[in-house]
Every structure is written in C-alpha cells, then in structure tokens.
A and B are shown apart, each in its own frame.
Chain A
C-alpha cells in the first residue's frame, strides 16, 4: 500500500481513509467500540517515521483489544495519510472527525502539521497525542493535545544538568541549527546555563544540511569553552559538526541532545566511529542499559513483541520511535481508565495533568501541568554514549558504575 501510494501520491490523496486493524470479532462486547484516528505522513519526507508509528500503534491496539479493550471497549483504528503536508493534514483530520467520528487522534509526527490541525480538534474537543517537540504547541494552542516526544526546553535542562553535575564545566558554547526549534534551544540553553552558573562563551547557528561548519566551530573555539552544547535536528548535521571538530583538531567535550543518540546511524556514516569519543547524547531512560544489567527492561519486552508482530518491517524502522507511539496509546488507555470512561478532551486532559506523574509503563517520571503538555520531562531523559548500543536501539547510560 505504501509503495503504491508513493508512486502516485496525488491519486492517493483523493482516496481515502483506510480501515486497517481492529477487525476483532464483534463478539460479546456490548459497549460501543472506540474509534482511534491515526494521522501519519505515510508519504512524503516523514514516511520512515510513519512506518515506525504504524507498527507501534497497531501492536498496542492489538494487545489492548486482546485484553478486553479500553474500559471494556474494543478499539478500531482509522489511518489517514497527511503526506507530510499541513494543508492535507487539516483536510484529513476534518474527515476523521466529521466522517469517521474518531474519539481520539494519535499523530501527527510532523510538527507544523500538528499546529495546523489543532483548531479542528479543539472545536470537537477531541484529545490527541502527537510525536512533536515543537515549543509552539502550547497548552493554549492545544488544550487537549499531548506529546511524548522530547522538546527543546526539557532537553536543555537535561543537557545543562549533565554539564554542571557530571562534567563540572565552568564555561560552555552553543551550536544549533537556524530552524525554530534550534533557535528556541539556543535561547533555553543560554538561560539554563546562566542559572546554573556556567559561563556562556558564544553561540553559533547554521542552515540545515550546511556542508561546511568550519567557520562556526573555529569561531566558538576562540572562546575556549569547557563543553560544547550541540543541538542539531538531523543526523546529517550532527555528523557534520562532529566531523568538523575532528578536522580542526578541537578536542572538546560535546554535550548533545536527543538527535545525537537517536540519529546515531547517519552520524556514524558521516563522521566515522571515532567521532563519538568525547560526545554524549540524551535519550529516554527507558531505552538505556548498563553493562551489568541482567533483568530485561519493559522496552526489551516491547522490541521482542514488535518483532513477532511485524517481523522484517520492524527491523527497518526506528524502534525507539515505534515504542514512543506504542506508549502514546498506552497513556491514552490509562487516561480513559482514569476518567472512568469519559473520553472527552477536557476530561482526558484534566486527568493527565493531575495524574500522569504516577503513571508507570515503559516510561516513568512523566510530567504534565496546566501549562505543560510535553510529558517527557527532564527526568525521563538521561545522558548516554551514542556509540554504545545494544540491538533494538538501547544505549549505554553515562551514570553506570
């Protein structure tokens, strides 16, 4: 289906919402099923993420349905393709809301699409959980919208925390891309390091996919900082930064963000295996291990089940992303159980704001408040060695003994 739609995306656009899963036997269920909308960029630049998302969501729904559904109600999934395009996303969401009559939306994975679809969801008071880290997705913009993806604000706190408490750094410089997310991160890092008493020696930005960052890094080197905060959005950019550091012979401790570990594949391809020598990245604590660990983590359990569920398809996608989508469905499940079956946006939002800190699943230490709907807080994240990985996308933590 995906490959066909890639060949003729526009024909596909006219077509449809696909009813995919959830055809579970309409057995003895007396309660009405829940309709779960899933909005993913099945085509366009977000396509690799969409495939990961589908596997995670479908597995979660299958497990919940087999266990009797959410609050005794089976879940039907309705998948829509936003083609990585905001205007198409809006049309598809209107269709999901008004024609398919969804109770909840999982998606989208594209930040600008989320911003575009929120008015439709707000009006219908439908809760949504997306995979977006954009700071513009405030609680005013989306009172019933939540995200399990790392945002710049919490990454900044975690990065400065590491520089201060592990590296004991007295001074630091910042390099980030010129996108909205990068600019926000640069500001947040400056603010947080000031609060932590770390001297700011310089900030530089670069355009996405710039091929030569020599001038930026040479200029930051002049300030002689003890650590360099690196906040890239793509693996290619992260790789170029690390490679250039090697080229100019600057051996500085690099404190990276989630991209630095989450996108380690393309980074390695560009910068080579030595590049991570002085580098740490952030990742969800759930996706980490220590060499001495023996007990299997919940994430390892997920990877095994997803492998059985999707086979080869699963080994080709980002398994971390797949797990985050899986967990999004589980958080929704917890919320509906918590409200006693009230699935309206306000009820779900209120429950999550009040109770998410006691949630325990694959992720722990989730945070939420009336002013923050990014659930992955600073304590959900931890510093990792991006180059020390176990199968399934598990990273070795820095704080192992």
Chain B
C-alpha cells in the first residue's frame, strides 16, 4: 500500500532520518518503535507531507507523492494523526469534524459518515456543540482520530496516540485502529511503549538514531531481546 524507498528527511539541511525503506501493507498495523529522538516523528511527518524529504521516494498504491504537500498527500490517501491529542480548540466538535472531512462532498454524505462514528464514539455526539477545548485529553484524541478517519485515508499514520490521555481510553483507540485495518486500511503506529504496541500490531520495526535497526513480525519481536538493547542505546 505505502512504499518507502531510501527516504532521507530532516529539518533545514540536517537529516534526522536517513535511507529508510519500508513497506506498509493494507489490512495491517505496522508499529514503528524507538526511543525518544530516534526519528519516528520525523519519519511520519515526511510521509504525511509536513516535511519535504531530501532524498528517496514515497509511493501510495503505486502513485508517487514524494514532496507533495499535505493537502495533496491527504487526498491521495495518506493522513497523519499528530501527537498530543491536537484538535482545533476554539471550534465546536461538529466544526472540527466538518473541516476534517475534506474528501466528502455533500452535507448528507458527511452526516451519514458522522453518524457511523457517533455510534462508535457516542461522546462525540453528546458534545457535538461544545468547543473542543472543553473536552478531556482522551476525548480530544478520539475527536482527532475521528477527524483523521473522516477523510477516508488508505494509510493512517498515528504519532503516539496513547500519550497524554487517560489509561482507560487507550484500548478504545487501539481497537478502532484495528477496526480500520480490518476494513482494508493500513496503519503506521508510532509508539515508545514496546509491549503494548507489539500486542496490537502485525509487523514492527525498530528505529535508532534515524535508521531502521530491526524489523519483523510483531509476534517474533515480542520475545526478541535486541529491542531492549536498542532502547538502551547499544
């Protein structure tokens, strides 16, 4: 679904990740693991178009979107869910959803799509008219996730969706990611927490200092001692 070939990206002239190649399959959750500063966020920002890559290629279903800005990337099917449960604080929940549904044409279509997610997350329906800033961190993350899903992406890039939200809500979010994958979507899940991520994903890769050091099936990696070593900086 998403092919990355020899990607190098960073800020200004300084590369943060270099020579990354990976395949993200439809229907699967791919975990990107690594310690703080390993380059995970830079990688997904480059894939989502927020950072222009310095070298390499990004293809979505065979279409080259290298260097495309996010408005093109999202319409091609790659949507980045930023970390930190970010939503538009001074817009209502409804307006947050409305502007996120960039690929939906008619109002009717939008309402139908919303209703689907209101069933999954009834809290959004309840707080539909409230300002997003009045929501809790977890509720905001649910809103942000729904925003991302509303543009009906092929590939969903999730940057640390578990950070800053109540522990009790994490399973709800991970479950929805699994649902998305089971409907044929591809998920890239960036996380620091190893066990939790490996449990929910199908495949995983481990990054350190801007490169991929290890990859494989999540179930295999679960018992692999090398992950811990990489985390320890070795």
* A contacting B, Cβ–Cβ less than 8 Å: no
Q: Which residues of A contact B (CB under 8 A)?
A: none
